[in-house]
Every structure is written in structure tokens, then in C-alpha cells.
């Protein structure tokens, strides 16, 4: 599959296919004469079909617009998702569109499927290295590293659940390969990723003292975040926790499963992030509360797209 930079979704492609080509467009007034007055003298003008030239110029502008995207200019030809790092759902949608999967579906059904794919991949879209052209991304707030690990596992399992539920035959085989490409693209980013907040806290943790008076609450939070950022997990530990998350999400078959998995995943995440702080430490509960607050939006988003998936099943 080759990425189509002009593809912006199946509905747009469906409407575009119904439109006549530039060369087929005719100006309904072409060939007609009109009288005009210039400098007091009457002239007869014949209207031409100049709409062709204008539309051709517009098409060229759109192509140039996408080609100049910084993500496209820095894309890896061996990594198809590197061309759409902020709208990864478009890669899956383009594949389904080109595989004729959408052909028998109504516009409303296509919109539902594309919305599911968009919500599933949106969390990982926030890890894009460059801002670039962001067409449809829902989430703008940056994930923390531990949220990225969770999102990678959940979105991978959700995409596979989508494939197992809605696809079959050669279309499913190709989609499953795209999921592996998605995992490869996003794992590279998630393994060494840190948010701006995490990098700030890590840098601050290296400073022994601050030349500023702190309130009791500020002092507590500083002590707690310093302990959090001094905890360093190995690649093997990160890979292990991602695999644990994924196995949890792969077990989801219904709404009851989803509720159970979300509780287990949150407990696993809190344990992983705070594993460098002893439960007897005065900052232990404060650290858990701090992390729980940070991941609340991510768990809500994950719950939302799994609800969407299970509803359409």
C-alpha cells in the first residue's frame, strides 16, 4: 500500500468520485455573448470555459500543500504511518477504502467506522515529533510516558478487536499487517518518550535546593515528584508492562469485561509508576493520587472507544 496524501477519509473520497473531472466541467454560460460598455463604446464579448484553468490551479495548490508538510518531508519510506503521525486512522481508512470494504456501506455506517478508528488511534497521535498538518486529531494534550504505554497496548488490542469483529479474508489479512506496522511505528516512539512535564520534573529533581520559599503543600509535592522521577525503568520492564496491559485488553468481549479490565489496568499503572517509592513512605499516597489525576482523561478516552467498539459489535 502506498500512502495517498490527498486522502482525507472515505466520505470525502466517495463525494470526489461522483464529481466530474476537471476536463468534464463545462461552464453553462460558455459560448454566450454579452454586451459591455467601455470608454463609451459598446463591445460584444464571448464567455469562455476558463473554469478549467482555475480548477487546475486549485488542485495543484492542494498537492503542494500536503507535500510541504514537515511530517511528509521527514517520513521514513519503510514506515507508512510516519506520513500520517497525527492522523494514523487515515492509513487504516485508506486501506479499507482501496480494498472496497466501504463500497457496500452507507455514509452513516462509514462515518461510524471511521470515527471508531479515529478515536482508537488518537491518543498515540499526540506523540508525533513534529506539529505539521493536523487534519482531524481529537486530543491536543500531551500524554505522559506511562499513559503512552497504556494507550499503545489498548489501541493495539482495540484495532485487533475491530479486525476480528468486522473483517474477514484477504481484507482482514492486510488490515492485521497494518496493525503490526502501527505497533512498530508507535513502539519506537513510546519506548523512549517523555512528556514536556516529565522532562521538567526530571531536570528539577537534579537540583538539590531551590532558592525560593515553599509552602508545606509545595514542599510535599516537590519531594513526591522528585522521588517519582528518580525511578528509572528498564526497556525490559516497560515492554513487560505494555504486554501485561495488552493481554488485559485482549480479553475484553463485553461491557462487563471492559469495566473489570479498566480497574486492573489502573492498578497496574499506579503500581508501575510508583514502584520506586515504598508504601511506608509519607509521599507514597500523594504520588498515587498525583498519577491517578494525570491519567484520568486517558482512561476516559480508552473507555469511550471501547464502548464504541462493543456497541457496534
What's the pLDDT tens digit per position in 136-162? 656 567 899 999 999 999 999 999 999
Alpha carbon 230 to chain centroid, angstroms: 30
Alpha carbon 157 to chain centroid, angstroms: 15
Q: What is the pLDDT of residues 243-293, one digit of tens each?
A: 999 999 999 999 999 999 999 999 999 999 999 999 999 999 999 999 999
Q: CA 58, CA 304: separation in Å to the nearest integer?
A: 39
pLDDT at 44: 60
Q: What is the pLDDT of residues 61-99, one digit of tens each?
A: 445 667 778 888 888 999 999 999 999 999 999 999 999
DSSP states of the chain: ----TT---HHHHHHHHHSPPGGG---TTTT-EEEEEETTEEEEEE---THHHHHHHHHHHHHHHHHT-HHHHT--TT-GGGGSTT-THHHHHHHHHHTTGGGGS-HHHHHHHHHHHHHHHHHHHTT-SS----SS----SPPPHHHHHHHHHHHHHHHHHHHHHH--HHHHHHHHHHHHHHHHHHHHHHHT---HHHHHHHHHHT-S--SS---HHHHHHHHHHHHHHT----HHHHHHHHHHHHHHHHT--SHHHHHHHHHHHHHHHHHHHTTTS-TTSTTHHHHHHHHHHHHHHHHHHHHHHHHHHHHH-
Which residue from 234, 229, 237 is spatially nearest to 291, judged by alpha carbons? 229
Phi, psi of 295 (to 5 degrees): -95, 0
For all residues of the chain together, what is the average pLDDT? Answer: 85
Q: What is the pLDDT of residues 109-137, one digit of tens each?
A: 999 999 999 999 999 998 988 777 776 65
pLDDT at 275: 92
Over residues 100-108, the mean pLDDT reads 96
pLDDT at 28: 54
For residues 3 and 206, the model is more confident at 3
Q: What's this model's pTM, rounded to 2 decimal places? A: 0.83
Which residue from 122, 156, 115 is spatially nearest to 137, judged by alpha carbons? 122
pLDDT at 245: 98
Amino acid at each position: 500500500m502506498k500512502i495517498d496524501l490527498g486522502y482525507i477519509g472515505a466520505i470525502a473520497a466517495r463525494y470526489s468520485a461522483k464529481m466530474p473531472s476537471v476536463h468534464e466541467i463545462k461552464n453553462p454560460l460558455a459560448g454566450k455573448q454579452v454586451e459591455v460598455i467601455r470608454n463609451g463604446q459598446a463591445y460584444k464579448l464571448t464567455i469562455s470555459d476558463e473554469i478549467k484553468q482555475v480548477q487546475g490551479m486549485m488542485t495543484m495548490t492542494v498537492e503542494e500543500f500536503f507535500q510541504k508538510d514537515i511530517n511528509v518531508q521527514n517520513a521514513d519510506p519503510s514506515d507508512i504511518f510516519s506520513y500520517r503521525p497525527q492522523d494514523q486512522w487515515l492509513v487504516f481508512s485508506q486501506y479499507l477504502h482501496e480494498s472496497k470494504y466501504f463500497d457496500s456501506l452507507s455514509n452513516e455506517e462509514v462515518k461510524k467506522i471511521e470515527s471508531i478508528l479515529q478515536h482508537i488511534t488518537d491518543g498515540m497521535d499526540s506523540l508525533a515529533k513534529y506539529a505539521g498538518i493536523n487534519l482531524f486529531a481529537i486530543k491536543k494534550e500531551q500524554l505522559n510516558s506511562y499513559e503512552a504505554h497504556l494507550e499503545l497496548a489498548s489501541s493495539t488490542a482495540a484495532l485487533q478487536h475491530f479486525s476480528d469483529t468486522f473483517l474477514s479474508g484477504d481484507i482482514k489479512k492486510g488490515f492485521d499487517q497494518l496493525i503490526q506496522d502501527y505497533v512498530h511505528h508507535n513502539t519506537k516512539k513510546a519506548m523512549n518518550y517523555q512528556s514536556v512535564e516529565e522532562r521538567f520534573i526530571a531536570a528539577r529533581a537534579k537540583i538539590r535546593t531551590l532558592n525560593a520559599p515553599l509552602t508545606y503543600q509545595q514542599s510535599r509535592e516537590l519531594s513526591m515528584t522528585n522521588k517519582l522521577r528518580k525511578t528509572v525503568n528498564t526497556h525490559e520492564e516497560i515492554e513487560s508492562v505494555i504486554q501485561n496491559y495488552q493481554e488485559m485488553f485482549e480479553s475484553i468481549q463485553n461491557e462487563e469485561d471492559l469495566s473489570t479490565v479498566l480497574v486492573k489496568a489502573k492498578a497496574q499503572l499506579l503500581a508501575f509508576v510508583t514502584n520506586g517509592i515504598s508504601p511506608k513512605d509519607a509521599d507514597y499516597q500523594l504520588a498515587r493520587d498525583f498519577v491517578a489525576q494525570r491519567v484520568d482523561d486517558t482512561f476516559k478516552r480508552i473507555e469511550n472507544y471501547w464502548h464504541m467498539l462493543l456497541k457496534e459489535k
